[in-house]
Amino acid sequence: MRRTVAPRVPGALRTCRLTACLLATAALLPPLLILPASGADEAEDQRLQNAFADAAREFHVPRSVLLSVSYMQSRWDSHPGTPSVAGGYGPMHLVETGGHAPAPAAAPAGPDGRKNSSLAGTGSASGGHAVQPADLERAARLIKAPPTELRTDAVANVRGGAALLAAAQRHLGKPLSEDPEDWWQAVERFPGTRDVTSATTYADDVFALIRRGAHRTTAEGQEVMLPASPGVRAHPGPQVPHRPKEVECPRELSCDWLAAPYEEIDEDGDYGNHDLADRPRDQKIEYIVIHDTESTLPNMFKTVQDPTEASWHYSIRSSDGHVTQHVRTKDEAWHSGSKFVNGRSIGIEHEGFLTHPGTWYTEQMYRSSARLVRFLAKKYGVPLDRQHIFGHDNVPAPTGDSIPEMHEDPGPFWDWQHYFDLLGAPLKATAGPDSDMVMILPDYATHKPRYTGCEGDGKRCQPHGSSAVRLHTEPADNAPLIQDPGRRPDGDESTEDVSDLGSRVSTGQTFAVADRSGEWTAIWFQGNKAWFKNPKDHPTAVGASGRMVTPKEGLDEIPVYGRALPEEEAYPEGMEEETDEPLPYSLRAGQRYVTQSGVDSSYVDRSTFSGTPQPVVLGQERYYEIQFGHRLAYVRANDVDLVHANAGSAGAPEQQPGPAGQ
C-alpha cells in the first residue's frame, strides 16, 4: 500500500506499516501445531530435554553445544510446521533450501550506486571456508528421515541439527570431542552466516550461554535446561569490520548503510523522507522506539528509499539480526507518528509481523537489536527503562484526533522481559508486594491471554506467550474491559483483538496502585480505576519504587498532553506559535501516575526543505512524562506535585526537582 506525504506536514502521522504485505504474507503462514510425542512413557514437559540428550549421545556432540546452538536459533521453541522468514523449521531452525546453500541475495545499492557487500553475503566466515545454512534437506539425509518429519517433529529436528554439527566438525578435520571448546568453528558455521563479524558474534553468544547456563519453558510448554559451565573459555571477539563511514554501530554487529533520501518531491516545496538536524547539540535524544515492519525487509528497503514514504534510522533482519542504517542518528527520521517524539528519538524497525511472533521475532534479531540499543543508549545517555525504550504502540498521540491513527507494533507478543535482560537492565521488583506502585511483569512463557484477529477478524489466535495484561472495570473476569475514549470516540467497546490497545498494559510499564481486592489489583489508567488479576502464586505485576505525579492541592483536574510544547513567549518574532490542546482524558485530584523523568519543552518547524537544520525553539515550560495508559503522555510541572511511591498514600508532596531528568 503506497503511503503519501501530506503537503507541508512532513512529520505528521508517518507510517511504516504495509497492510497489503501483511495480509498477503500472513495468509501463507500455517497455524502453530502441538509438539508431537516421541515416547508415551516420557514426562510430557521433558520430551524436548530428553531429545537433546539423546541426539548429543547419538552423534557425539557435546550436549551443552547442541542446547546452546538451538537456543540461539529458536530459544528452543518448535513451532512445528511453521517456517520462519528464512524458511527455518523447529528448535534447530533448519532451513529449507532445496538441498543447496542459497545464492547470495542481491544487495540494495547505496547512495553512490555501489552494492553493500555484507547484505549481499559476499564475505565468508570461518577463515574463508565455504559456509552453508543449517540445511534441512541435508540434515534429513544424514539421519535418513523424510524432510517433512524434520519440519513437524521437534525430536527429528534436534537429531538433524546434531548430525549437521557433527558433519561440520568432521569436515574441519576435528575430532568429535567431548570438550565444547573444540567445537568453536563448527558452531560459527552452523547458521550459515556469510560474514566474519556475524559468525564470530554468533559463536561468542553460544559459548557465553554455555558458561552462564539457561532455563526456559518453551512456547509449546516444554521445560528445557542448559546447566552452566563457567569453566568454558571465551574466544577472541570479532574483528572490527570494514564499514561505510556513515554507519553508527557497535563493533560486534554486522552493519551496512542504505540511505533514506532527503529531497524535494514536487514544485510546491513538499519533500521527504526525513529532516536534517544536529542532535544532540540542538535537541537531546531521549527515546529509542521499537517497531516491527509489518512487511518483509526487501519491501521495507524499497519504502525507505522512496522520498514520498516514511523513514527510520535502522532496520534489523529477522533471519540473522543483520543491521542496516538509513538515517544518521543526528538527523530526524519520520517514524513514530509524532513530530515531537521524532525530534527526540531514534527509530529501529524489526522485520516481522505482530500476529506471527514465533516466525519473525527471532533470537538473533532480539540480540542484535539489544546490542544496538545498548550502544545508542550509552552514546546518548538514554535511560534503559520503559519510559525511554518503548514500542511504536507506546508513542503518545500528539493530538486527540490523531489517537485512532496511532500504531500497535510491535504488539503484545514482543518479549519485553527478555529484551531488557539482553539490554543488561532486567525488569524486576524494586519494592515489596504491598507497594503503592507496581511494574507489570507477567511470566511471558506461561502468560497466554486470549487474542483474536491473527488469522482474520474474530478468529482466535493460537495461544502464545505475551507481555500484555488486560484491564477490567471491576475485579472480575467477566467484568467489561476498560474503554479508551480517545481510541474509540464513537463509544465502541474494547475487544480482545490482537491490535486493540484500549484495555492493555505491557511488561515493564509502571503504574500507581488505586485499590486491591483479593487476587485483583487496580491501577490509575487514563483517569480511571482499572483492574487486572494479580494472584500471589502467578503474579502479573510486582512491587515498584519511584516517583509519581498528582494534581496540586486545590486543583480538581489537570490537562494531559501528547507533547511538551513551549510557552507562547518562547517563539521568536515572525514564527507562528504551535498551538496545543489537551488529550481527551482527565487526570483528577487523588489520582497518581508514574514518572521517570522531567521533560524540557521544545518545538521545531519541520515544514521547509533546507540545506541546514531548522532552529529548535526551547521553552521555559517544563513537563513530566507519565505512564498514563498503554501510551505515554505529558503533564505540566506547574500542575502537579511529586510523591514517592514508598511514602504511602499519605506521603508528603516532594519539592520540584531541578533541570529535567535530574
Rounded to 5 degrees, what angle do the CA atoms 351, 116, 202 make? 55
Three-state SS annotation for 500-554: CCCCEEECCCEEEEEEEECCEEEEEECCEEEEEECCCCCCCEEECCCEEEEECCC
Q: Tell how strand 271-272 and strand 437-440 pair up.
A: unpaired
Question: How far apart are alpha carbons 110 and 326 in whole angstroms?
Answer: 10
pLDDT of residue 652: 43
On whether the CB atoms of residues 541 and 534 are closer than 8 A, the answer is yes
Q: Hey, what amino acid is at 334?
A: W
| pLDDT at res. 82 | 86
Q: Is 374 exposed, middle or buried (0-12, 13-18, 19+ CB in 10 A)?
A: middle
Q: How far is CA 138 from the centre of its chain?
A: 33
Angle at which helix 154-171 crosses helix 136-143, to 10 degrees, equals 90
- pLDDT value, residue 24: 38
E-assigned strands of 271-395?
271-272, 274-275, 287-292, 314-316, 323-325, 332-333, 345-350, 389-391
pLDDT value of residue 642: 96
Distance CA 299, CA 301 (A): 5
pLDDT for the residue numbered 132? 60
Q: Return the residue matching grid coordinates 529531497.
A: 263
DSSP run (H or E) holding 596: strand 593-604
Note the pLDDT of residue 356.
Answer: 87
Structural domains in the chain?
A: 1-10+241-412 (3.40.80.10), 33-103+122-218 (1.10.530), 548-647 (no CATH)
198, three cell numbers: 556475524
Angle at CA of residue 219, ends 81 and 469, nearest 5°: 130
pLDDT at 491: 81
| pLDDT at position 42 | 55
Name the nearest CA neighbour of 533 among 493, 577, 478, 576: 478
pTM: 0.87
Report the C-alpha gap between 435 and 282 in whole angstroms: 40
Q: How far, in Å, are 18, 258, 262 from residue 305 at the CA level?
A: 15, 8, 10
Place of cell 483479593: 518
Between strands 528-533 and 587-588, the pairing is unpaired
CB burial of 596-607 (b: ≥16 within 10 Å; e: otherwise) equals bbbbbbbbbebb
- What is each CA distance from 529 to 293, 472, 482, 588, 653, in whole angstroms? 34, 9, 9, 12, 22
Placement of cell 516514511 in the chain: 310
Query: Three cell numbers at 176?
Result: 568429535
Give me the average pLDDT of each 10-residue run along the chain (662 residues): 35 38 37 39 83 98 98 92 87 77 36 33 36 83 97 97 97 96 95 84 95 93 96 77 88 94 93 97 97 95 97 95 97 98 98 87 94 98 98 97 96 97 97 95 94 89 94 97 91 92 97 98 97 96 97 97 97 92 95 97 93 95 98 98 70 42 35
Amino acid letter, residue 94: L
Q: Which residues on neighbouring strands pair with residue 531, listed in sequence order? A: 472, 522
